[in-house]
Amino acid sequence: MHARSLDTTPVRRDRSLRIELELRDVGQLFNSLDPSPLQERDLSPDAEEFITSTAEEHPADAPLTLRLHLRQWPEEDPSALIEAAVHHYFAYRADVNHLEFRRLMRRGRSSLVIGSLFLTLCLLVSTVVIGSGGGAWAGIARESLTIAGWVAMWRPMEVYLYDWWPLRRRGRVYEKLSRIPVDVIRQATG
């Protein structure tokens, strides 16, 4: 598989940007270990990564077209089958991404409950048990419990502030790619 970098010149007929791949044959686009029928087969990891990473480089509202150049053209025109397979694959990846997002949010909620309970316990122990004693050890114990309680909040804060952004962005790319127009072109042999 030979991947061209994205041609940022708009396609004249529909003004979309193109993601172009040069392939020896149709089989090179798909994972050779997947025994599913072609329309349900996974894309090869290299093809998926190239298509997805190229799509992520452009604004979400930029129209894209996937253009595949085949050196070995099969007996029947593969265009409709390839387009359906690409759409099916990225729709599946969007569904898996949505499931991963829901799991992350569930883990975030669990972490938030556990962290909040632990923080509350640390602050209660610090205030009630140790009190406002003036000794150095009492001060160290109070500060240690306060720090430990806030450290327990690290994971839920990480989930809700940082972890969900890339997952949602990747999901939107998969959804966009599940509807991308696919042009399959017979490459001239020379």
**Are 17 and 83 part of one and the same domain?**
yes
Which of these ranges, 107-116, 148-157, 170-179, 180-189, has the smallest mean pLDDT?
180-189
State residue 39's pLDDT score: 79
**Are 86 and 135 part of one and the same domain?**
no
The set of long-range contacts for 143-150, using a CB threshold of 8 Å and a minimum separation of 24, is 146/122, 148/118, 148/122, 149/118, 149/119, 149/120, 149/121, 149/122, 149/123, 150/119
State residue 129's pLDDT score: 73
If one counts every other C-beta atom within 10 angstroms of the C-beta of residue 21, the result is 20
**Are 44 and 122 part of one and the same domain?**
no
H or E segment to which residue 53 belongs: helix 45-56
**Are 133 and 64 part of one and the same domain?**
no
Number of separate domains in the chain: 2
**Are 161 and 109 part of one and the same domain?**
yes
State residue 59's pLDDT score: 86
**Are 51 and 64 part of one and the same domain?**
yes
- Whether residue 156 is predicted with pLDDT greater than 60 in this model: the reply is yes
What strands lie across the sheet with 64-70, from one edge to the other? 2-3, 17-23, 64-70, 182-186
Residues facing 2 on adjacent strands: 22
Q: Which residue has the tokens 């409950």?
A: 113
Q: What is the pLDDT of residues 28-64, one digit of tens each?
A: 898 888 787 877 888 999 999 999 999 999 888 889 9
**Are 83 and 50 part of one and the same domain?**
yes
**Are 6 and 89 part of one and the same domain?**
yes
**Are 43 and 105 part of one and the same domain?**
no
**Are 162 and 140 part of one and the same domain?**
yes
Domain range holding 19? Answer: 2-93+179-186
State residue 31's pLDDT score: 84
**Terminal CA-CA length for the chain:** 18
**Are 54 and 121 part of one and the same domain?**
no
Do the bridges between strand 17-23 and strand 2-3 make them parallel or antiparallel, or are there none, so unpaired?
antiparallel
pTM comes to: 0.78
**Are 89 and 64 part of one and the same domain?**
yes
Q: Which amino acid is at 79?
A: S
Top pLDDT among 64 and 141 is at 64
